[in-house]
Amino acid sequence: MARIRPFRPEDEAALSSVCVRTADAGADATGILTDDEIWPEVFLRPYLARHPDDAFVVDADGEPVGYLVCAPDTRSFEHWFSTSWWPERGARWAPDAGSGDPRAERTAGILRYAAARRAGAEPYGDTYPAHLHIDLLPQAQGQGWGRRLIEALIETLRVRGILGVHLVADAANTSALAFYDRLGFVRLPSHEGVQAFGMSLGGPEGSGPR
């Protein structure tokens, strides 16, 4: 039987696998970068390290099959990411987009993104100060776990007085875009290739998932 529970440190390896297996617009990204470890080093492990109490796991009979991680204050998180987390870890990989290898080109793009992360870089981060990442393996999709993960997070954020949350999805992941629309997230101006969403958690419109 599946359930949602808090993150435990021993989950990290399993969640890293989930991260890689869902990183290509929701599909398995194994082997599309020069090193699969880049995905969790950018999109999962910094959140587990900085905010382990804001991480939730979908556990199916002892096996993690999905998760949600969150930074409750995007500005401070991105400052920490750019000054403390990424400099040492990013040094493991050198961008190399000139080889003509599609794997190297895509890797270079992810590394450029990680190196460019800065506090205040996203204009919606002040209106919606928290941000999240959510990933579910195929066997956990279509069963309401994504909604339940977000509801659990929203309850936690509201208790702490955090007034909004945002996320960024790959524009090619049409099922995810429709999912966030159904939950009541608002589409925000976005960079090419991605779609940002925001949800207010305060005021009359801050009703959360519907």
**Per-residue pLDDT tens digits of the chain, which is 210 residues long:** 899 999 999 999 999 999 999 999 999 999 999 999 999 999 999 999 999 999 999 999 999 999 999 999 999 999 999 999 999 999 999 877 666 788 999 999 999 999 999 998 888 888 999 999 999 999 999 999 999 999 999 999 999 999 999 999 999 999 999 999 999 999 999 988 999 999 999 754 445 665
Range of the domain at 61: 2-200
Total domains present in the chain: 1
Token code pair at residue 63: 């096996």
pLDDT at 44: 98
pLDDT at 206: 47
pLDDT at 140: 95
Is 187 within the bounds of a domain?
yes
Is 209 within the bounds of a domain?
no
pLDDT at 119: 93
Is 80 within the bounds of a domain?
yes
Is 29 within the bounds of a domain?
yes
pLDDT at 204: 42
Is 53 within the bounds of a domain?
yes
CATH number at residue 109: 3.40.630.30
pLDDT at 97: 63
Is 163 within the bounds of a domain?
yes
Is 147 within the bounds of a domain?
yes
Neighbours of 191 (CB within 10 A): 10
Is 150 within the bounds of a domain?
yes
Interatomic CA distance for residues 108 and 93, integer angstroms: 9
Interatomic CA distance for residues 169 and 195, integer angstroms: 5
* Burial (CB count within 10 angstroms: exposed 0-12, middle 13-18, buried 19+), residue 56: buried
Contacts of 26 (CB under 8 A, 6+ apart): 170, 173, 175, 176
Residue 114 has φ and ψ, to the nearest 5°, of -60, -40
